[in-house]
Structure 1
Amino acid sequence: MGQVFQFKQFAVDQNNVPMRINTDGVLLGAQAEAESVNRILDIGTGTGVIALMLAQRFEDAEVWGVEIDDLAAKTARMNFDQSPFTNRMHLLHSDIFHWKNDLQFDLIVSNPPFYINSLHNPDERKKIAKHTDDTFFIGMLEFAAKHLTEQGSFQLIVPVELEDFLKTEAEKLGLVWDGQVNIRSFADSESFRCIIRFARQSSEQKTEEFIIYKGRGIYSDAYNHLLQPFFLAF
């Protein structure tokens, strides 16, 4: 039985992919925003779900997905090819740090590995997908600093514990914190993730709150509204 997740406008095959569709990814895909979006990059695209969500939202944008894992890259390419956005989708099987190009992007996103200095998963592919170190984030920020358009935005979803580190490293590279969305499971729980935004020049610098559940097993109205354009159940 294939592991295929059916969205309203596209389907995502998750076979042979170490990191399957998760809440972090769909929240980023549904919330990432920038001005005048003509070219988008998803770093570590995995199944390609974030790239596909952004292709649905930004109907005129060219969307690139970069993936280091060979089988995941093949799966993402298949998902791209079978989507209604195929003519605007590009898949590169590469380490993002070895991709030499002069492209400039209006929106760069990532749902990156974020287990730092922790016990590594014994599965080699899952280890690469889930674990990283400080230099990986610095490398992504360096890439964004080089490849963002003047009005472009770099947005990633990470544990809140990484917020200060990312702000400090971004500032060293000439990127400024441009606001974030703090994500909580429930209204009375602590934030456990944030979608943090960086840009060449700051705009509103808003900090917003997003709550996933209004009760045990019951999604919040905000979650339902946000994912309604994508999920068949909403």
Structure 2
Amino acid sequence: MADIFRFKQFGVDQSGCAMKINTDGVLLGALAQAENPQSILDIGTGTGVIALMLAQRFTDAQIDAVEIDAIAAETAGNNFKNSPFVADRLTVFPVSFESFFEDHPEKKYDLIISNPPFHINSLESPKAKKTLAKHADGDFFEILIKYIAEHLTENGLCWLVLPLETSALVKALVQQYRLYLQKVIAIHSFEESAPHREVVRFGLNEISEVKSKMVIYEAVNKYSEEYKKLLHPYFIAF
């Protein structure tokens, strides 16, 4: 039986995907901004949900989506085909991001986005697919940031959602590869709780870093007005 999550303008079949639609992904898809991007890359697309959110918002963009898990890549491809967006605007590549960049050295992007594996040097999940989707070590992020630096357009931007420990590592790597941290959004479950994620934006241009926060819940089981406004274009419930 299909496991379909319905959005206002599209549906996402999650069948066979280790990583289901989650708050990290939809927050990243809704928060990421760029000035009229014509080329977008979603690294580790999973079900394709972030790519579809960006296709809805940036109606002129060509979007490439990379996914190493073959079953998830097939699911994402079907989600793209079944969406109301022009089919040739969304293309899925069932390979690792390393292989993708090696096979397409000429590609440059106005917007690169990723909800990457984030359990650095942690114990592996007993389920192999879950392990593949959510585990990585420091080398993974160094390679990722290196390739991103090489494949951004002059004014291109990269947006990532990360746990705090991983975000600290990525911020250091950004400097190492002559990129500039431009924006950090701290994600809090509640107003009084400590942040548990950061959404970071960086690019090739040095500008003043902007820091802000996003609170998901106003109270237990009650979303904040800020969160509902952000997801209003996408979620049927909002």
Q: TM-score, normalised by structure 1?
A: 0.98
Aligned residue pairs, count: 234
State how far apart, in whole Å, the 2-side matches of 1:107 and 1:121 are. Answer: 31
CA-to-aligned-CA distance 1:78-128 (integer Å, 9 cap, x gap) = 000111112310110111101121111000000011011211111111101
Q: Give 4+ residue runs of structure 1 displaced > 3 Å after superposition.
A: none
1:89 aligns with 2:90: yes
> C-alpha distance in 2, partners of 1:109/1:91?
14
Q: What is the aligned counterpart of 1:188 among 163, 174, 192?
A: 192
Shift, 1:185, TM fit: 0.1
Q: Which residue of 1 aligns with 2:4?
A: 4
Counterparts of 2:110 and 2:91, CA distance in 1: 16
* CA deviation after TM superposition for structure 1 residue 153, in Å: 0.6
The equivalent position to 2:206 in structure 1, one of 190, 197, 202, is 202
Residue in structure 2 matched with residue 121 of structure 1 by the alignment: 125
Is contact 2:43–2:114 with CA below 8 Å preserved after alignment?
yes
Verify the 8 A CA contact 1:35 1:151 in the aligned structure 2.
no
Structure 2 unaligned spans of 5+: none
Q: Does the 8 A contact of 2:120 with 2:166 survive in 1? A: no
The Cα shift of 1:227 comes to 0.5
Local SS of the residue matching 1:209: strand
Letter in 1 for 2:226: A
Normalising by structure 2, report the TM-score. 0.96
1:1-234 paired onto structure 2 within 5 Å: 1-85=1-85, 86-99=87-100, 100-101=103-104, 102-234=106-238
Distance across 2 between alignment mates of 1:5 and 1:23: 13
What's the offset of the Cα at 1:167? 1.5
Q: For residue 36 of structure 1, report the CA deviation from its aligned partner.
A: 3.0
Across the aligned residues of Structure 1 and Structure 2, the Cα RMSD in angstroms comes to 0.9
Which residue identity does 1:180 align to in structure 2?
Answer: V
Percent identity, please.
46
